Amino acid sequence: MAQADFPEPVKNLIGELKRLPGVGPRSAERIAMWLLQSPKADPPELAKAVMEARDTVIACPVCGFFATDAACQLCDDPKRDDQLLCVVEQATDVLPLERSGAFRGRYHCLGGKLSPLDRVAPEDLRIPPLLRRIEQAEGSIEVILALGADVEGEATANYLAGLLRGGKCRISRIAQGLPAGGGLEHADGLTLMRAIEGRRGW
Amino acid sequence: MAQADFPEPVKNLIGELKRLPGVGPRSAERIAMWLLQSPKADPPELAKAVMEARDTVIACPVCGFFATDAACQLCDDPKRDDQLLCVVEQATDVLPLERSGAFRGRYHCLGGKLSPLDRVAPEDLRIPPLLRRIEQAEGSIEVILALGADVEGEATANYLAGLLRGGKCRISRIAQGLPAGGGLEHADGLTLMRAIEGRRGW
């Protein structure tokens, strides 16, 4: 006599859900049960949303942010400042900057950061299109390197600064220091060192 | 100038993922990014698994466990003991029992438990089919009430025992007491009381 288990289609569904990041075996089972049993669940809507996003969303060939074939919100917006170009690692880094309201220029998503250990070399990043954009920009342009404060982010920023130095653009990078709301007692030594190094006149 | 956000199809996808149990806004975003960007992701397989499970999986009209139109693993298995009928709250309760290997009879899933607060009354549970199954069973039959040890599980067990008492079946219920591997110092008072009440001769 066989030990009973979920029917094959339920096992498949659990298997696919389990592959999603942050979804373990137990959550996958729970989500599958919810999809099959809850009156609030709408499996066709979920399946449709998955396929529609996959079929219509591309990386904008200019800036690398999420776009559709029809439009890129960032590149198509006529009100953004063409003289400011913010370089970020990932397309997802654009949203926190947008939500902060701190920046309303153009963006360039590299698609990653230099990381020899993960075998990410300069040619794996969207660097040539960045150089082309800067080359073709009209008037003076400031390139803001908004990369992470980790080793790879620093290396990537250094590499780009080296490439761009002496060119037509000014280069800046976002500040490192104490995070907002954070007291000194919670800051690590490196953060404090950066905060002291980056101090500004009152 | 509009604050940039994900394109509509990505927002829809995040919205649908956010509705899944245990998936918050940040995990939904993370899963959506993974689906759109990871080479390991296979969105069509996920969409297909969702739809196939929805389209082919039913509750078995006899036992209430997950089944397909073609077959119910539990009811169709000729080697299971017809003289033992285990009553559980949910279809999902069958699997832990199966995996424990403790039971190889038939099952009956009620589809819930009595809960006046959630407006679950006896007529909302699969009780008439249970009575019919017992009525139609050949020979002597033991009905094992394997309901939860919470208030609603107890109420449901009491209600069913009242209905079945004096009928043709024997009634039993699963034991309550110390969980396996648990020391007395971690057991709450109610569990200890049940463990003492349920003590058995050596």
ipTM: 0.79
d(C-alpha B47, C-alpha B33), whole Å? 16
Q: Which residue of B has its CA nearest to A52?
A: B9
Q: Which of A23-32, A92-101, A156-165 is predicted with the least confidence, judged by mean pLDDT?
A: A92-101
A76-100: average pLDDT: 92
Residue of A10, A43, A95 with shortest CB distance to B66: A10
- Helix B43-56 with A8-18: angle, nearest 10 deg: 150
Residue of B7, B43, B57 with shortest CB distance to A68: B7
d(C-alpha A85, C-alpha A81), whole Å? 8
Task: Give the pLDDT score at A192.
Answer: 85
B126-133: average pLDDT: 94
* Residue contact B33–A57, C-beta within 8 A: no
Residue of A43, A56, A57 with shortest CB distance to B51: A43
What value does the mean pLDDT of chain B take?
A: 91
Between the alpha carbon of residue B104 and those of residues A70, A159, B88, the distances in Å are: 59, 66, 14
* Residue contact B57–A7, C-beta within 8 A: yes
**Is 90 exceeded by the pLDDT of residue A197?**
no
Angle among Cα B105, B110, B115 to the nearest 5 degrees reads 140
Task: Work out how many CB contacts closer than 8 A connect A with B.
Answer: 181
pLDDT tier for residue B188 given thresholds of 50, 70 and 90:
confident
Q: What pairing do the DSSP bridges indicate for beta strands A169-173 and A141-145? A: parallel
Residue of A6, A15, A74 with shortest CB distance to B66: A6
Is A86 or A70 the better-scoring residue by pLDDT?
Answer: A86
Chain B nearest-CA distance from A166, in A, is 32
d(C-alpha B89, C-alpha B135), whole Å? 20
The set of residues, in sequence order, having a beta carbon less than 8 Å from that of B72 and lying 6+ positions away, is: B60, B62, B63, B65
Q: What pairing do the DSSP bridges indicate for beta strands B66-68 and B105-109? A: unpaired
CB A12 within 8 A of CB B49: yes
A103: which chain B residues are within 8 Å (Cβ-Cβ)? none
A74: which chain B residues are within 8 Å (Cβ-Cβ)? 4
Q: How many helices (H) and strands (E) does chain B have?
A: 8, 6
* Residue contact B51–A56, C-beta within 8 A: no
Q: In what order do the strands lie in the sheet with A141-145?
A: A105-109, A81-88, A141-145, A169-173
d(C-alpha A20, C-alpha A43), whole Å? 16
Which residues lie across from A39 on neighbouring strands? none
pLDDT tier for residue B189 given thresholds of 50, 70 and 90:
confident
A41: which chain B residues are within 8 Å (Cβ-Cβ)? 19
**Is 90 exceeded by the pLDDT of residue A22?**
yes
**Is 80 exceeded by the pLDDT of residue B2?**
no
Tens of pLDDT, residues B28-65 = 999 999 999 999 999 999 999 999 999 999 999 999 99
**Is 90 exceeded by the pLDDT of residue A142?**
yes
Tell me, what amino acid is at A59?
A: A
Is B201 or A145 the better-scoring residue by pLDDT?
Answer: A145
B34: which chain A residues are within 8 Å (Cβ-Cβ)? 20-21
* Residue contact A49–B2, C-beta within 8 A: no
* Residue contact B12–A49, C-beta within 8 A: yes
**Is 80 exceeded by the pLDDT of residue B201?**
no
* Residue contact B94–A49, C-beta within 8 A: no
* Number of residues assigned to chain B: 202
B68: which chain A residues are within 8 Å (Cβ-Cβ)? 7-9
Task: Give the pLDDT score at B1.
Answer: 62
* Number of residues assigned to chain A: 202
DSSP H helices in chain B: 8-18, 25-37, 43-56, 73-76, 94-100, 127-136, 151-164, 189-197
Task: Give the pLDDT score at A63.
Answer: 94
DSSP letter assigned to residue B67:
E
Which element (helix H / strand E) includes B172?
Answer: strand B169-173
In CATH, which superfamily holds the domain spanning B8-56? Answer: RecR Domain 1 (1.10.8.420)
- What CATH code would you report for A59-201? 3.40.1360.10
**Is 70 exceeded by the pLDDT of residue A1?**
no
Per cent of chain B over pLDDT 70 is 100
Q: Which of A85-89, A96-100, B75-79, B129-133 is predicted with the least confidence, judged by mean pLDDT?
A: A96-100
A95: which chain B residues are within 8 Å (Cβ-Cβ)? 4-6
Per cent of chain A over pLDDT 90 is 67
Q: In what order do the strands lie in the sheet with B105-109?
A: B105-109, B81-88, B141-145, B169-173
Task: Give the pLDDT score at B191.
Answer: 86
B100: which chain A residues are within 8 Å (Cβ-Cβ)? none
Q: What pairing do the DSSP bridges indicate for beta strands A81-88 and A105-109? A: parallel
Q: Which residue of B has its CA nearest to A20?
A: B31
What value does the mean pLDDT of chain A take?
A: 91
**Is 90 exceeded by the pLDDT of residue A26?**
yes
Is B185 or B24 the better-scoring residue by pLDDT?
Answer: B24
B67: which chain A residues are within 8 Å (Cβ-Cβ)? 7
A82-103: average pLDDT: 91
The set of residues, in sequence order, having a beta carbon less than 8 Å from that of B95 and lying 6+ positions away, is: A4, A5, A6
Task: Give the pLDDT score at B57.
Answer: 95
Task: Give the pLDDT score at A125.
Answer: 94
* Residue contact A35–B50, C-beta within 8 A: yes
B73-85: average pLDDT: 93
Task: Give the pLDDT score at A180.
Answer: 82
Is B53 or B183 the better-scoring residue by pLDDT?
Answer: B53
* Residue contact A16–B68, C-beta within 8 A: no
